Amino acid sequence: MKTEQIICKNAVLGYEKTPVVENLSFAVCEGDYLCIVGENGSGKSTLVKTLLGLNPPISGEIKRGGGIKSTQIGYLPQQTVVQKDFPASVWEIVLSGCLSKSGLRPFYNKAEKETARKNIERLGITDLSDKCYRDLSGGQQQRVLLARALCAADKLLLLDEPVTGLDPVATADMYALIETLNKSGITIIMISHDTGAAVKYASHILHIADEVFFGTKEEYLKSRQGKMFLNMEGGE
Amino acid sequence: MLEKLTNYLEFPFVRYAIIVGVLIALCSSLLGVTLVLKRFSFIGDGLSHVAFGAMAVASVVNLANKMILVLPITVISAVLLLRTGQNTKIKGDAAIAMISVSSLAFGYLLMNVFSTSANLSGDVCSTLFGSTSILTLRSYEVDLCVALSVIVLFVFVFFYNKIFSVTFDENFAKATGTDVGLYNFIIAVIIAVIIVLAMNLVGSLLISALVIFPALSAMRIFRSFKAVTVFSAVLSVFCALLGMFVSILAGTPVGSTIVAADAAAFFVCCIAGKAMGRN
Ligand SMILES: Nc1ncnc2c1ncn2[C@@H]1O[C@H](COP(=O)(O)OP(=O)(O)OP(=O)(O)O)[C@@H](O)[C@H]1O
Ligand SMILES: [Mg+2]
């Protein structure tokens, strides 16, 4: 039995007493690859924010297990409200992903800089290192934030629509990269509208709708919801 | 002209004033970027009015060392304002406007009713615009300014990476285990200390200019947080020196001269930025 890293029991999620998702129960174990699917506005991002402690659940229980700490979590937000004028280079932003590792130390050490450099290389943005974040294209910005998330992810990586804005090659690279990370033992929780990729890579699926589905990929493919959702995608 | 300047520099109080001016200018430029980008600039403005009110109270009760009263009041208000500002945006704004305007009114009222000084409008004017107070600093005030500036510099350098992270993306920092509340608190306290310091140099009405102009100027030209921080510090010190020398030679008020230099530098940086193809 693998250790459970996130346990969610009868949770109601929402904003200031207005529920968005109700009756949510699931568990994520070490090494899992969970894909969260659902329509726009169904509450996927809300769930991820709640898991990260950015937005308290209205009721129910959300626990972290297996000794996982906030400082071992990487996070890619769906939208980052970066003010238009913010002067920050790609290098500075990616490096800031290592912040939680540096603890109280005022400066980044060699190992942290090396991590940042490696992740910049992984995402193919080495030549953008010195560029200003706000002068980049949407897809390039997405890669920068992914590199930052990878710097922070030791045990768990939460990705809110990671391939949005990426070109087909970068998308394929991205999925391959996430798969490699998952194989190396990092738990993945990913929100995606790309159901094809979800059923291809994920080990578990969480479908948020009026009727919530949670189970392994195989179960999902056989379920009524899964069939409906996949057919819809296929019919497009 | 140079002779006149060296003559002035013979006086220890002028030298003190220049040392203090440089340190204050250095500190006040550091958090400019954070203030602008976190929309804290209105907090800076509000706080300077609070500091004015506190200063008025301090002069009415005739405190020898006014900082003893002004500093804690400003720090506490900074922390409180930040709290309300975080919870609900609009309410926070209204709270700040209310607090800052009423401190201004109360401050002036107090000074008017209780002041023993013959030159009331002169007093008010010098609290608002700084006038020549920088030249009349007593030695313990100089010591206090130097000590506070050094502490601010040290804290800023020590928490530089955290301040960057919290300014750039607070949610990410929080999600990955950074104590965002603590660093926002530290930022608020530093801002309060800087405002009290800067009040000595330029007076409470011009503080925002001293804090924000160098950062805005640097942001016109540079594109990384580090470069902007370093350049705004250098620029701020340069403008403060220039302003102080001009004011000594031409007899203009110190605070407004420094802020005028900052404004001119901003203009130059805008042109330089345009010329470099950045806008
Ligand atoms: N900050 C907020 N305050 C109040 N309500 C919110 C807030 N953010 C989102 N909501 C509401 O919560 C619901 C779920 O939003 P959420 O962002 O979780 O959807 P999502 O499943 O991620 O959608 P998408 O596929 O478009 O990303 C929406 O109805 C939205 O209006
Ligand atoms: Mg979303």
Query: pLDDT of B35-73, one tens digit each?
Result: 877 766 667 778 888 888 888 888 777 777 777 888 898
Q: Which of A149-163, B33-47, B77-91 has the highest mean pLDDT?
A: A149-163
Radius of gyration of chain A (CA): 18
The beta-carbon neighbor of B161 closest among A82, A99, A148 is A99
The pLDDT of residue B144: 85
Q: Which of A79-88, A97-106, B129-138, B157-166 has the highest mean pLDDT?
A: B157-166
Cα–Cα distance between A33 and A36 in angstroms, integer? 10
Cα–Cα distance between B207 and B211 in angstroms, integer? 6
Cα–Cα distance between B255 and B25 in angstroms, integer? 11
In chain A, alpha helices (H): 44-51, 90-95, 99-102, 110-122, 138-152, 168-183, 195-201, 217-222, 224-235
Positive or negative: CA dihedral A147, A149, A154, A158: negative
Question: In the numeric block, which tokens belong to residue A169?
Answer: 């090659």
The pLDDT of residue B263: 94
Please state, as a whole number, how many other Cβ atoms lie within 10 Å of the Cβ of residue A223: 16
pLDDT digits (tens, 9 = 90+) for A156-184: 999 999 988 888 988 998 899 899 989 98
pLDDT digits (tens, 9 = 90+) for B184-195: 889 889 988 988
Cα–Cα distance between A219 and A227 in angstroms, integer? 11
3-class DSSP state of B27: helix
A88 Cβ neighbours under 8 A, 6+ residues apart:
A82, A132, A133, A134, B164, B168, B224, B225
Residue keyed to tokens 């509000």: B46
Q: Closest approach of chain A CAs to the CA of B210, in angstroms? A: 19
Give the A window 65-104 contacts with B, CB below 8 Å. 69-75, 77, 80, 82-83, 85-89, 91-93, 96-97, 99-100, 102
3-class DSSP state of B197: helix
**What percent of chain A is helix, strand and coil (3-state, nearest 5)?**
40, 25, 30
Query: Where does the pLDDT of residue B33 fall: very low under 50, low under 70, confident under 90, or very high at 90 and above?
Result: confident
pLDDT digits (tens, 9 = 90+) for A218-236: 888 888 777 777 776 554 4
Task: Write b or e for each residue in B27-53: b if 16 or more Cβ atoms lie within 10 A of its Cβ, otherwise e.
Answer: bbbbbbbbbbbbebbbbbbbbbbbbbb
Cα–Cα distance between B239 and B97 in angstroms, integer? 30
A41 Cβ neighbours under 8 A, 6+ residues apart:
none
How much is the ipTM here?
A: 0.89
Index of the ligand 1 atom closest to the CA of residue A46: 18
Task: Indicate the residue type of A103.
Answer: G
Q: Check whether B136 has a pLDDT greater than 90.
A: no
Determine the distance from the C-alpha atom of residue A218 to the mean position of all C-alpha atoms in its chain, rounded to a whole number.
Answer: 22
Cα–Cα distance between A203 and A32 in angstroms, integer? 6
pLDDT digits (tens, 9 = 90+) for B103-118: 878 887 887 777 666 6
Q: Closest approach of chain A CAs to the CA of B129, in angstroms? A: 30
Q: Check whether B151 has a pLDDT greater than 90.
A: yes
Is the CB of A36 inside a 6 Å radius of any atom of ligand 1? no
Mean pLDDT for chain A? 87
Say if the Cβ atoms of A97 and B228 lie within 8 Å: no
Nearest Cα residue to A91 out of B177, B223, B173, B218: B223
Is the CB of A40 inside a 6 Å radius of any atom of ligand 1? yes
pLDDT digits (tens, 9 = 90+) for A1-58: 678 899 998 889 988 888 898 889 999 999 999 999 988 989 999 999 999 988 889 9
Residue ranges matching CATH 3.40.50.300 in chain A: 1-68+155-236
The rounded Å distance from CA A182 to ligand 1 centre is 27
Burial of A84 (0-12, 13-18, 19+ CB in 10 A): exposed
Index of the ligand 1 atom closest to the CA of residue A78: 27
The pLDDT of residue A92: 94
- Segment A75-87 shows an average pLDDT of 78
Cα–Cα distance between B203 and B235 in angstroms, integer? 20
| CATH 1.10.580.10 for the B2-275 domain, yes or no | no
The pLDDT of residue B39: 66
Residue A184 phi, psi (nearest 5): -80, 5
Percentage of the residues of chain B whose pLDDT score is greater than 90: 26
A1-68+155-236 CATH pick, 3.30.360.10, 3.40.50.300, 1.10.240.10, 2.60.120.260: 3.40.50.300
